[in-house]
Amino acid sequence: MRIIKRFSFFVTVVLIAAMLFASGCSQNVPEEDTINETEGEVTEGVTEVTNEGVIKETTEEVIEETTEGITEETTERVTEGVMETEGESGYNPVINPDDFVEVIDSSYFPLTPGTTFVYEGESEGETIRDEIFVTNETRTVMGVNTTVVRDREFADGELTEETFDWYAQDRDGNVWYFGEDSREYENGEVVSTAGSWEAGLDGAQPGIIMKGNPQVGGTYRQEYLAGEAEDMAEVISLNESVSVAYGSFENCLKTKEWTPLEPGIEENKYYVTGTGLVLEMTVKGGSERLELVDIITE
């Protein structure tokens, strides 16, 4: 009996303990709303963190893409700018001596040794005369055998400038200008040689004085030495009519010439097939007209 009582007492204690434990658990369990709130908070927190992470990641990706886009675009633009700048300031035509021929028989710019072209006109109120003589001399420039042409300019009968120009023609008929030995005179004395330059030296490069197949709108550089020789030309027309002292001509080539070194000054020149230059005149920034009056051959 004592054992039974003890067992009953033990069972009773266990039952009471179990009830108390159950009651305590019930009190510690949050209500449904509280659970929902908690879940909501957790969910919200997770969502917020997740969204923040996504936003950050997305933002980084966008920034990265945008930065790459800007970088690529900027790089491309800068590269193009550099290339253009190099094209303008670092003009560097490829010259292969094997591409050139011995004679200059361009239809618009023939240079037959022994020929003298005589031009006369007016410039700023002065009477001017220009004698261009094609010599039998040659000069090698950049490996190319060029023809030496002597050009003597007079103002009111007095020699003001003498140059020895160097020309050569390539296989495509383009006549290239390789430089000049220039001398300016006053009272019969040389006062300056500043206009001299030679292609291949000190950054100077040859240019094209006459295209082999000129086309309207075509623009080309005639010479290049930064700050010294930067003449440019553009073909304006192929069917001009011109009358000068030497004669009247149809279907003339008309060009516009200028240099960035003298902004605001512009010239027009007229060429005749089989003859060459017959007229040049300043049309902007000055007043000069020089026309062909005679061609003398030896």
pLDDT for 48:
42
Q: How far is CA 238 from its chain centroid?
A: 27
Q: Per the confidence metrics, is the pTM higher than 0.85?
A: no
pLDDT for 237:
98
Tokens standing for residue 248: 């009247």
Higher pLDDT, 208 or 81: 208
Give 203-215 pLDDT, tens digit per residue: 999 999 999 999 9
Among candidate residues 269, 282, 275, 267, the one with its CA nearest the CA of residue 247: 275
| Residue count of the chain | 298
Q: Sorting pLDDT into bands at 50, 70 and 90, what band is 186?
A: very high
36-42 contacts, C-beta under 8 A, 24 or more apart:
none
Q: Which residues of 81-101 are buried (b: 16+ CB within 10 A; e: fewer)?
A: eeeeeeeeeebeeebeeeebe
Does the structure show a pLDDT above 50 at 110?
yes
Does the structure show a pLDDT above 70 at 52?
no
Tokens standing for residue 240: 């001009």
pLDDT for 19:
55
User: Looking at domain 103-297, which of 2.40.360, 2.30.29, 2.40.50, 2.40.128 is its CATH number?
Assistant: 2.40.360
Structural domain spans, the chain: 2-74, 103-297
